[in-house]
């Protein structure tokens, strides 16, 4: 049976299923058992699985990441949560030097089955230290897997696959996806890591997207279709290992490539995808590829500034038209007049 679930409910269901199936799975993070339950994604787990497997922890991100790694070496399957990526930066040493390397540097004797959930904030004044989208950092490090679901279906299936994987997985969730609904099958299923999703088929240009920008890309593709342009949207879902095959297959078909990512432009996911296209199918490219990413600037806090900072469907639409060689157009706004641009939808009333 498939029914509609919100993104956070899909995450919660995946965790519940994983913990029911495998007693070595436990979840730990600041606020995991608190009344807000990581924006709803861990609610009810403490009641069902008890204090031993659903843990709050000291405010010690680096140390507790090491603890999670050590427990994984000892046979557990920890899920560690951070309410923002920005806090997880305190644990970069353990993630990069340790979690990513123990398997390889000890000749394959060790494995670190660890999932680290991190949330990307946006809007409502999240500002420079509650909104960073650092997937490119993690994807740069061999030994880590990096996952970014865009739909409730993939959130559940990718989280289950990540928990069952024997490697450290950085699982990056966009805060603006939490309230989105979508069809989610009941029971256990996995979405395999390392396989992209063609979210919309098209022959004219390829839009490669990550996480929340997949939603904006699909909105842009909708309007492009009204204008007779068939955009193919490839939602990467997993950044590492990267599904180069699906990307290149699409670019060979369309000859045009636009990449839209929730992170910064410079040295980011867009750069990597375009480099892969240049290496893998340069002759297919009929126009210079384009990136629609964040400007290289710490996120401004004011709603007025943030509205101009974040690219949205209209920016993707404009760049797609340019790629198609169509005359410049201002275009009517995607959002009706008066709709605030610093929230995922009008039902969101803060504070985070």
Partner 1 sequence: MSDPAKLPILYELMLRIRRVEERIADLYSEQEMRCPVHLCIGQEATAAGACAALERTDHVYSTHRSHGHYLGKGGSVRAMMAEIYGKATGCSKGNGGSMHLVDLSVGYMGSTPIVGSSIPIGVGDAFGAVLRGEKRVTMVFFGEGATEEGVFHESVNFAVLRKLPVVFLCENNLYSVYSPMSVRQPAGREVYSVAQGHGIECHQGAGNDVAAVYDLARKAVRKAREGGGPTFLELKTYRWREHCGPNFDNDLGYRTVEEYEEWRKLCPLEAFEKRYLASGAVAADELRRIAERIEREVADAVAFAKSSPFPQEAQGVYAP
Residue whose token pair is 């993104």:
7
Q: Between 31 and 66, whose beta carbon lies closer to partner 1?
A: 66
Minimum distance of partner 1 from residue 172's CB (angstroms) = 19
Q: Which is nearer to partner 1, 67 or 230 (CB)?
A: 67
Q: Judged by CB under 8 A, how many residues of this single chain contact partner 1? A: 44
Sign of CA dihedral 319, 235, 216, 115: negative
- Closest by CA position to 38, among listed 57, 63, 66, 64: 57
Q: Are 180 and 155 in contact (CB under 8 A)?
A: no
If one asks whether residue 230 binds partner 1 (CB under 8 A), the answer comes out as: no
First to last CA, the chain: 33
Active-site residue identified among 13, 51, 93, 130: 130
The only residue of 22, 34, 93, 345 in contact with partner 1, by rule CB under 8 A: 93
Which two structure tokens, joined as six digits, stand for 166?
């024997």
58 contacts: CB under 8 Å, gap ≥ 6: 64
Q: How far is the CB of 102 from partner 1 (least distance, A)?
A: 7
The yes or no reply on residue 31 touching partner 1 (CB under 8 A) is no
The values of phi and psi at residue 55, to 5°, are -120, 140
State the CB neighbour count (10 A cutoff) for residue 80: 30
Which span sits near partner 1 by CB under 8 A: 2-10, 108-116, 243-251, 325-333?
108-116
4, 16, 51, 61: which one is catalytic? Answer: 61
Binding characters for partner 1, 148-187, by CB under 8 A (x = yes): ------------------xx--------------------
Nearer to partner 1, 117 or 145 (CB): 145
To the nearest whole angstrom, how small is the minimum distance from the Cβ of residue 210 to partner 1? 21
- Cα–Cα distances in angstroms (integers) from residue 207 to residues 211, 217, 259, 278, in the given order: 13, 7, 6, 15
- 18: DSSP letter: H
What is the phi-psi region of residue 53: left when phi exceeds 0, alpha when psi lies from -120 to 50, beta otherwise? alpha
**Contact status: 284 vs partner 1 (CB under 8 A):** no
Q: Is 130 a residue of the active site?
A: yes
Q: In whole angstroms, give the CA distance from residue 186 to residue 184.
A: 6
**Within positions 33 to 92, which residues make up the interface with partner 1, using CB under 8 A?**
52-53, 57-58, 60, 62-76
Which residues contribute to the site for partner 1 (CB under 8 A)? 24, 26, 52-53, 57-58, 60, 62-76, 93-94, 97-98, 102-113, 142-143, 145, 166-167, 241
- Residues annotated catalytic, as ranges: 61, 130
């Amino acid at each position: 049976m498939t029914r509609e679930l919100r993104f956070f409910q899909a995450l919660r269901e995946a965790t519940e299923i994983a913990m029911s199936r495998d007693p070595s799975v436990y979840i730990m993070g600041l606020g995991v058992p608190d009344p807000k339950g990581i924006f709803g994604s861990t609610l009810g787990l403490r009641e069902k699985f008890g204090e031993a497997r659903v843990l709050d922890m000291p405010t010690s991100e680096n140390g507790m990441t090491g603890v999670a790694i050590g427990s994984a070496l000892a046979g557990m399957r920890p899920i560690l949560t951070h309410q923002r990526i920005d806090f997880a930066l305190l644990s970069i040493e353990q993630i990069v030097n340790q979690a990513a390397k123990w398997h390889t540097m000890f000749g394959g004797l060790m494995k670190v089955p660890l999932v680290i959930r991190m949330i990307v904030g946006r809007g409502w004044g999240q500002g420079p230290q509650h909104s960073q989208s650092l997937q490119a950092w993690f994807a740069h490090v061999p030994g880590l897997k990096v996952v970014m679901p865009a739909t409730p279906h993939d959130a559940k299936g990718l989280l289950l696959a990540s928990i069952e994987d024997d490697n450290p997985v950085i699982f990056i969730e966009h805060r603006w996806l939490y309230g989105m609904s979508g069809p989610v099958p009941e029971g256990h299923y996995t979405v395999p890591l390392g396989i992209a999703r063609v979210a919309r088929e098209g022959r004219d240009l390829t839009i490669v997207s990550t996480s929340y920008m997949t939603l904006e890309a699909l909105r842009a593709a909708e309007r492009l279709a009204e204008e007779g342009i068939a955009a193919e949207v490839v939602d990467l879902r997993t950044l590492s290992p990267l599904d180069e095959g699906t990307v290149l297959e699409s670019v060979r078909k369309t000859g045009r490539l636009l990449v839209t990512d929730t992170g910064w432009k410079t040295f980011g996911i867009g750069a990597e995808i375009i480099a892969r296209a240049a290496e893998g199918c340069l002759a297919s490219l009929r126009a210079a590829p384009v990136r629609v990413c964040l400007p290289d600037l710490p996120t401004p806090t004011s709603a007025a500034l943030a509205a101009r900072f974040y690219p949205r469907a209209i920016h993707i639409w404009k760049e797609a038209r340019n790629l198609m060689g169509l005359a410049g157009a201002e275009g009517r706004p995607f959002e009706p007049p008066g709709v605030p641009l610093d929230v995922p939808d009008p039902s969101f009333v803060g504070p985070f």
